[in-house]
Copies of this chain bind each other. A is one copy, B any other.
Amino acid sequence: REQSMKNARLQSVISQIKRLCRKRKIDGDQPNEKLQWKLHICSENNFPTAAGLASSAAGYACLVYALSKLYGVEGDISKIARLGSGSACRSIHGGFVIWNKGDAEDGEDSSTEQIAPETHWPELRVLILVVSDQTKHTASTVGMQTSVETSDLLHQRLQGVPKRIERIKKAILRKDFHSFAEITMKDSNQLHAVCLDTYPPISYLTDTSHHIMQLVHAINQDNSSNMVAYSFDAGPNAFLFMQEKDVPTVLDILHYFYPNSDPHFIRGIHVPGKHDTHVDYTAFSDIKVIPRALKFIIHTKPGPGPSVQESDNGLLTKDGLPK
């Protein structure tokens, strides 16, 4: 689909990169003739866009990285990525990234920092459960602004953030999955509690989201230790975290409670063969089976940041037109 370049965020990202490129020239380099070039941008995604899966964060991180390579810009480009999509500043890095809020009132000095590369915890897996009962989308930026203005509970939440960040950082560095899971779930629940405390209230979680939460707690209780964690962003889809060894068990349980005959129900990293995990479902007798509650599941893991592809893999021909 051909789209206009007149998008304000896109223009702001391009002009900031060009500004940095011009700045470098002053230091003695030859004028960069690429600054006169026209740009063709072609983008492809291997997961659904505009479904609350942070596709704009991924897209802007890649775009800003690609532009920085094209114009030879170095240094911290995450601030430029942020102009495209707030959380794109995190996606510039691979692995486990922290977004420090900085000291300025307007957040202008916030910055991102990789606390561990994706190779640090290669066993960590993510199942993205795309639910069928998608609700009307409240744009996350608008929602958060209303929370700041109306939620009494947000104040208490913010006080707890620094301590929580320290604790999850430690859990990640130690690969302590049990603690990682608990902190992740509590933080997700508190975010959505603040949304509900907003006036008028904001609600991203649906009955299916709550059903997934109930199932995860039942799995963890049955396991006597946390095997799975959930996290919900500004939408009803669940992000389940677990260790590689537990993926077959969790997939079996998900197949059991959310039966779905779609041959493409599970996407992403392939888990070979039929599992033989012998789950005892008597421990889950409280939980209802809901056919087709999930549209599909994406199986993925923490990955590296953006990288330049071989030109053979590019999306444009030598003439700069889409292949």
Any chain B CB within 8 A of the CB of A25? no
In the complex this chain forms, how many copies of it are found? 2
- Contact flags (1/0) for A196-212 with B, using CB distance below 8 Å? 11111101001100100
Interface check A129, CB cutoff 8 A: no
Asked if A233 is at the interface of the complex by the 8 Å CB criterion, the answer is no
Complex contacts, A133 vs chain B, CB 8 Å: 207
Query: Which residue of B190, B196, B207, B213 contacts A192 across the interface (Cβ within 8 Å)?
Result: B196
Q: A189 contacts the other chain (Cβ, under 8 Å)?
A: yes
Determine the chain B residues whose CB is within 8 A of the CB of A152 once the complex forms.
156-157, 160, 190
Contact A153 B286 (CB under 8 A): no
A-side interface residues, number (CB < 8 Å):
29
Interface: A318 (CB within 8 A): no
Most buried by B among A192, A207, A210, A286: A207
| Assembled-state Cα–Cα distance A173/B192 (Å) | 34
Bound-complex Cα distance A286 to B138 (A): 12
A245 at interface (Cβ–Cβ under 8 A)? no
In whole Å, how far is A139's beta carbon from the nearest beta carbon of chain B? Answer: 14
Expressed in whole angstroms, the minimum distance between the Cβ of A122 and any Cβ of chain B is 29
Which listed residue (B197, B201, B217) contacts A200, Cβ 8 A?
Answer: B217
Question: How far does the alpha carbon of A200 sit from the alpha carbon of B218 in the complex, in Å?
Answer: 10
The answer to whether A196 and B199 have CB atoms under 8 Å apart is: no
Does A101 make an interface contact (CB < 8 A)? no
Asked if A1 lies at the interface with its beta carbon under 8 angstroms from chain B, I say: no
The answer to the question of A136 belonging to the interface, with a C-beta cut-off of 8 Å to chain B, is yes
Decide if A19 is an interface residue (CB 8 Å cutoff): no
- Say which residue of B157, B201, B206, B217 sits within 8 Å of A153 (CB atoms): B157
A85 to chain B, nearest CB (A): 25
- Sampled A-B contacts (8; CB under 8 Å): A152-B190, A153-B193, A153-B194, A155-B156, A189-B197, A192-B196, A193-B193, A193-B197
A residues with a Cβ closer than 8 A to B are 133, 136, 152-153, 155-157, 160, 182, 185-186, 189-190, 192-194, 196-201, 203, 206-207, 210, 213, 217, 286
Given A153-B157, A192-B196, A203-B213, 10 extra CB contacts under 8 A: A136-B286, A153-B156, A153-B194, A189-B199, A193-B197, A196-B196, A200-B217, A201-B213, A203-B210, A207-B207
